[in-house]
């Protein structure tokens, strides 16, 4: 029996970055063979035996991985494990149509009827479904009435953990630009702070895709003072940008139907940034208010006053910066992941 890991490390998405770290830090030492999911479908399948152990990264936009997973389950491969990145959804909708009206009906059935239990039929065939948050585990178990669901901590290379030495009030945002990210609220908060701290800079790192491009252009026209829209930034240049910021405001709208883990928050913590976020989706598992970051109310007047008080609390900021690496080493190290991942 061989062990195979099917994913892709090529691209800028959070799953690509996760796949690279998970394989190199955890699976390689367990003798997993990496197969790039961008490889031809038939070539991939030809390497696999029905008794092999096969692990896949599954997100609602990982079309090739989903295609492989469903084929293997239909072919009665017994030793399949997955990490589900957008719990409780495998794909959305599960049955896709070119007709938008039919697609909306399919999404309705996914949300309320599990596509006639078709999703359950497939999920029950998976040996272990790993989910990167405790809330996600509970949602999957509740929606599909499954017992094969287990928590798996997100993985980071603890050698890359940094402790911030910056003492300014600058902001940095890293991630895709979209309405669901709540970035406009952090821009409003930044603009409010300029009334008393006119020197504060806000670095926005990331790009928009598809229909979000119009929204991104609106943000750039509306919020300009001391805001630097940098687009995609390579890793070698990203370090300097993060070094010139202390705070990472990462607000999110509440997702109605799925609960992804925030790789952006985890990355910002790894860079030693003090994360400011709101209590939605799974952010409460990453940020403990006043201990390793801050949970804001999203009441602009209230949060503005809170941030002004934080600026005047150097001891509090020092303690948070010291707590961040302890928190990361405890919860997201190789050792922590190996405690949950069953080989």
Instruction: Kindly state whether residue 40 falls inside one of the protein's structural domains.
Output: yes
**Which residue's entry shows tokens 């990496």?**
34
CA distance 10 to 296: 35
Instruction: Kindly state whether residue 196 falls inside one of the protein's structural domains.
Output: yes
Instruction: Kindly state whether residue 246 falls inside one of the protein's structural domains.
Output: yes
Q: Are residues 111 and 181 in the same domain?
A: no
Q: Are residues 107 and 188 in the same domain?
A: no
Residue pair 85/59 in contact (Cβ under 8 Å)? The answer is: yes
Q: Which of 133, 152, 171 is the endpoint of a domain?
A: 152
Residue pair 78/40 in contact (Cβ under 8 Å)? The answer is: no
Q: Which of 152, 185, 218 is the endpoint of a domain?
A: 152
Q: Which DSSP state fits 86?
A: S
Instruction: Kindly state whether residue 343 falls inside one of the protein's structural domains.
Output: no
pLDDT digits (tens, 9 = 90+) for 34-68: 999 999 999 999 999 999 999 999 998 899 999 99
Instruction: Kindly state whether residue 108 falls inside one of the protein's structural domains.
Output: yes
Determine the pLDDT at residue 213: 93
Q: Are residues 312 and 181 in the same domain?
A: yes
Angstrom CA distances, 191 to 83, 175, 223, 334, stand at: 39, 20, 8, 40
Instruction: Kindly state whether residue 68 falls inside one of the protein's structural domains.
Output: yes
The CATH code of the domain that includes 163 is: 3.40.50.2000
Q: Are residues 220 and 127 in the same domain?
A: no
Instruction: Kindly state whether residue 337 falls inside one of the protein's structural domains.
Output: no
Determine the pLDDT at residue 110: 75
Q: Are residues 181 and 220 in the same domain?
A: yes
| Of residues 124, 121, 65, the one with CA closest to residue 91 | 65
Determine the pLDDT at residue 116: 60
Q: Are residues 280 and 248 in the same domain?
A: yes
Residue-wise over 154-189: b if at least 16 C-beta within 10 A, else e? Answer: bbbebeebeebebeebbbbbbbbbbeebbbbbbbeb
Q: Which of 122, 152, 182 is the endpoint of a domain?
A: 152
Instruction: Kindly state whether residue 338 falls inside one of the protein's structural domains.
Output: no
Total count of domains within the chain: 2
pLDDT digits (tens, 9 = 90+) for 25-35: 999 999 999 99
CA distance 131 to 110: 19
Residue pair 49/72 in contact (Cβ under 8 Å)? The answer is: no
Q: Are residues 108 and 201 in the same domain?
A: no
**Which of the residues in the chain have pLDDT under 70?**
12, 115-116, 343
Q: Are residues 188 and 222 in the same domain?
A: yes
Determine the pLDDT at residue 47: 96
Q: Are residues 111 and 211 in the same domain?
A: no
Range of the domain at 146: 3-152
Q: Are residues 273 and 128 in the same domain?
A: no
Q: Are residues 43 and 148 in the same domain?
A: yes
The CATH code of the domain that includes 34 is: 3.40.50
Q: Are residues 174 and 322 in the same domain?
A: yes
Structure-token pair, residue 198: 């006119």
Determine the pLDDT at residue 211: 87
């Amino acid at each position: 029996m061989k062990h195979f890991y099917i994913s892709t490390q090529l691209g800028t998405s959070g799953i690509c970055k996760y796949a690279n770290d998970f394989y190199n830090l955890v699976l390689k030492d367990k003798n997993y063979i990496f197969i790039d999911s961008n490889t031809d479908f038939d070539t991939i399948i030809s390497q696999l035996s029905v008794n092999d152990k096969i692990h896949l990264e599954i997100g609602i936009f990982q079309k090739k991985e989903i295609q492989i997973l469903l084929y293997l389950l239909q072919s009665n491969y017994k030793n399949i494990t997955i990490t589900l990145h957008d719990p409780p959804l495998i794909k959305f909708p599960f049955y896709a149509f070119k007709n938008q009206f039919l697609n909306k009906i399919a999404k309705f059935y996914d949300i309320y009827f599990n596509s006639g239990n078709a999703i359950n039929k497939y999920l029950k065939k998976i040996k272990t479904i790993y989910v990167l948050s405790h809330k996600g585990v509970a949602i999957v178990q509740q929606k599909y009435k499954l017992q094969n669901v287990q928590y798996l901590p997100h993985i980071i290379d603890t050698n890359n953990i940094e402790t911030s030495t910056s003492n300014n009030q600058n902001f940095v945002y890293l991630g895709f630009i979209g309405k669901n990210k709540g970035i406009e609220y952090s821009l409003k908060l930044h603009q409010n702070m300029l009334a008393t701290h006119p020197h504060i800079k806000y670095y926005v790192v990331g790009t928009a895709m598809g229909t979000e491009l119009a929204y991104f252009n609106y943000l750039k026209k509306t919020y300009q003072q001391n805001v630097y829209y940098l687009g995609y930034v390579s890793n070698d240049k990203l370090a300097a940008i993060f070094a010139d910021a202390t705070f990472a405001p990462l607000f999110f709208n509440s997702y109605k139907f799925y609960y992804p883990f925030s790789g952006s928050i985890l990355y910002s913590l790894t860079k030693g940034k003090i994360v400011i976020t709101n209590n939605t989706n799974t952010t409460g598992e990453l940020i403990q208010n006043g201990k390793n970051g801050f949970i804001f109310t999203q009441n602009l007047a209230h949060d503005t006053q809170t941030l002004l008080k934080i600026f005047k609390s150097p001891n509090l900021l020092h303690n948070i910066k010291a707590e961040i690496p302890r928190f990361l080493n405890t919860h997201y190290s190789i050792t922590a992941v190996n405690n949950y991942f069953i080989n």
